[in-house]
Homo-oligomer: A and B are copies of this chain.
Amino acid sequence: MARKMEPIERCDCDVIHDDIVRQVKNKMPQEETLYDLAELFKVFGDSTRIKILWALDEAEMCVCDIAFLLNMTQSAVSHQLRVLKQVDLVKNRRDGKNVFYSLDDEHVKQIFNQGLIHISEEDN
């Protein structure tokens, strides 16, 4: 996690590399943008959360329903819903004793589908 502060020493590669590296450096998005992107994918990088998101894409559901569907404790589901809410992937509304969760982003399924394309191509 901790980043080295002293610049890495350059290897003896050709000057050609030098130009390419400089070009790539200029084309790269901002450090912060790439960090945020990683943070988003980190949220997708857990099968429990993937399942929850996929389920909520089908229908709005309360916590206990999700827990039953995924065969998990309410507590575990609640913890994960919290994570999903923090990054604005889901929203919720209270109805009596229940709290209903639903998707708060229409691109989730598109992102998933892109990922599935990669997976299906791996089996070659």
Contact = CB atoms under 8 A, between A and B. Distances in A.
A34 interface: yes
B111 A68 contact: no
Interface in A50-72: 50-51, 54-55, 58-59, 61-62, 64-65, 67-69, 71-72
Interface string A25-44: 10111000111111111111
A79 interface: no
A52 to B, nearest CB: 10
Contact of A41 (B20, B27, B44): B44
Given A34-B50, A37-B112, A42-B45, 15 more contacts: A3-B72, A8-B74, A13-B98, A21-B69, A28-B51, A34-B51, A35-B47, A37-B115, A37-B116, A37-B119, A38-B46, A38-B47, A40-B115, A40-B119, A41-B42
